[in-house]
Amino acid sequence: MNTKILLLITLVFVASVGIVAAEDATVAPYTFTVPDGYTIATATDTTCAMQQDDIHAISFATGVGEDLEAAKQTFIDQGQQLVDEKEMKYNDIDINLQAFSVDKDGTLLYSFNYVVLSDDGNFVVTVVTDDAEFNSDLNTANAEDNPAVTIFDTLQVN
């Protein structure tokens, strides 16, 4: 009887260990949780690219320029259409959103400045999806479908 209880406790422990850990990514000096279903494809000191499949990807980049007009023009020059541009606030971070589409695919570019201590870094979170109608607003009820929410909710300084 004691052996069965010990075996059951061991099985529950082993099963729970596999479920617990969400993967964290570090782009010095910041850390965030990789959104569910995504894995890190490449990472450097200034960027982290994550991928879910051939179509869905997200990236986090630091040290990018503040020239939002140049970023917008780059996407337009690549054949993407600007479908929305707006300012929003999420977790006390002022964010500029530029939403683009080409055919049925969408690209969301979230630019923000996250000042911590003496660091005055500019950041971009880019979400690529196969849905041009993807919910880009981080403050709506179904925003949890947007993987950028996980990054903004877990972003912290090491």
- pLDDT, tens digit, 9 for 90 and up, residues 112-131: 876 554 455 678 888 888 77
C-alpha span between 134 and 138 (Å, rounded): 11
Confidence band (pLDDT; 50, 70, 90) for 5? very low
Predicted local distance difference test score (pLDDT) of residue 128: 87
Q: What is the reported pTM?
A: 0.75
Q: Tell whether the model's pLDDT for residue 14 goes beyond 50.
A: no
Can you list the domains of the chain with their CATH numbers? 23-157 (3.40.1000.10)
**Pick from 95, 97, 100: nearest CA to 83:** 100
